[in-house]
Chains A and B, each alone.
Chain A
Amino acid sequence: MSNASKVVVVTSGKGGVGKTTTSANISTGIALQGKKTVAIDFDVGLRNLDLVMGCERRVVYDFVNVLRNEAKLQQALIRDKRVENLYVLPASQTRDKDALDPEGVGRIIEELKQMGFEYIICDSPAGIEKGAQMAMYFADEAIVVTNPEVSSVRDSDRVLGLLAAKTSRAELGGPAIRTHLLLTRYSPMMVKRGEMLSVGDVLELLGIPLLGVIPESKAVLQSSNKGAPAILDETTDVAQAYLDVVYRYLGQERQHRFIEEEKRSFFGRLFG
């Protein structure tokens, strides 16, 4: 079982582009497909994944407690109440990013693999410092979350450089981490008017394969207000987009949607 596990980092460099939203939705979506999945919040000191996933009141122990042997991994893992097979490992709210070290993080990831987790989703903090590097260090794959906006694209490129150099695979000379681009907060209407970088522009600049496009949508805020990942309410465009991403990630063919305005209004008519 250990060999079947995949460690996936959700990263971006820039803050506020949708890493935590993406981690919450993708881990929920994968678990809905019957895969045992855990989402780990690496944002030590500023934990938020628990809030976005609606389990903040059930946090007793956290990642750092387990690292320091103050709690067992089983005690810190929070089982999701809505979705079977889904667990959250919350970050510590009281320590700083230096609380993480590669040995400890490696030990916890290994233990999660032994527990039969098939997907280990690492929600990276913003930046390119230690916390972000810890989140990516043991990754087999990376989902690079990018907004169609200059600073986000530039930071994503920096992060791709780090993924190629400062990870266990890079240091041990293993196969390169598989990288996927997830373009979020996309507005086909603005792209059509020439007011926003297009998906083609960003692909050309970053040169990694496209996992999906998530449209700019009010549903994201609505879902974080509720503490229920958007993917759970299939009527929204964001849920449809994340579902596509999950199916695509798990190997099914799905046409890209939400890239052109026509398609969007088509869904607007269907679900609006």
Chain B
Amino acid sequence: MAFFDYFRKAPKTATLAKDRLSIIVARERAGTRSGPDYLPQLQQELLAVIARYETIDLGHVTVNLDKSGGCEVLELNIVLPDAPPPPPPRPSQPAHA
């Protein structure tokens, strides 16, 4: 009976819906709407620069924008390859020897 349902303690599904939506909507807004859209390009350009000095691929460079409190933190994470590749044999320059 609707009259008794009204007093039941189980959480109302509308409340659950609203709580779930508040979280997901806030998260998606942080990810897309308010985030600057230059991040992917920044990532590509950083990669291009680093690739000039190190063998590296896209997965090794991450660019993140975090918000904590009132301040935004731009986080760059660049993972250099573990073991440096064996030093390339010095180009022999026998001509001068």
Which residue numbers of A lie inside 8 Å of B, CB to CB? 149-150, 153-154, 157-158, 160-161, 164-165, 191, 193-198, 201, 204-205
**B13 and A194 contacting across the interface, CB-CB below 8 Å:** yes
- Tell me whether B13 and A153 are in contact (CB under 8 A): no
Most buried by A among B18, B24, B37: B18
Which residues of chain B from 1 to 60 have a CB within 8 Å of any chain A CB?
2, 5-6, 12-15, 17-18, 20-22, 24-25, 28-29, 32-33, 37
Contact status B28-A158, CB under 8 Å: yes
> Which residues B57-83 have CB closer than 8 A to chain A?
none
Cα distance A205–B17 in the bound complex, in angstroms? 11
Chain A positions within 8 Å of B6 at CB level: 193
Tell me whether B13 and A195 are in contact (CB under 8 A). Answer: yes
Contact of B25 among A157, A164, A195, A197 (CB under 8 A): A157
Contacts of B17 in A (CB 8 A): 149-150, 197, 201
- Decide: B5 and A157 in contact? CB cutoff 8 A: no
Q: Is the CB of A154 within 8 A of B13?
A: no
Say yes or no: A150 contacts B20, CB within 8 Å: yes
A142, chain B: closest CB distance, angstroms:
15
Tell me which residues across on chain B come within 8 A of A160, comparing CB atoms. Answer: 33
Please state if A154 and B33 are interface contacts (CB–CB under 8 Å).
no
Contact across chains for B24 and A154 when beta carbons are under 8 A apart: yes
Given B12, B20, B24, B32, which contacts A161 in the complex, CB threshold below 8 Å? Answer: B32
Q: Nearest B residue to A161 by beta-carbon distance?
A: B33
List A contacts of B14 (CB < 8 A).
Answer: 191, 194-198, 201
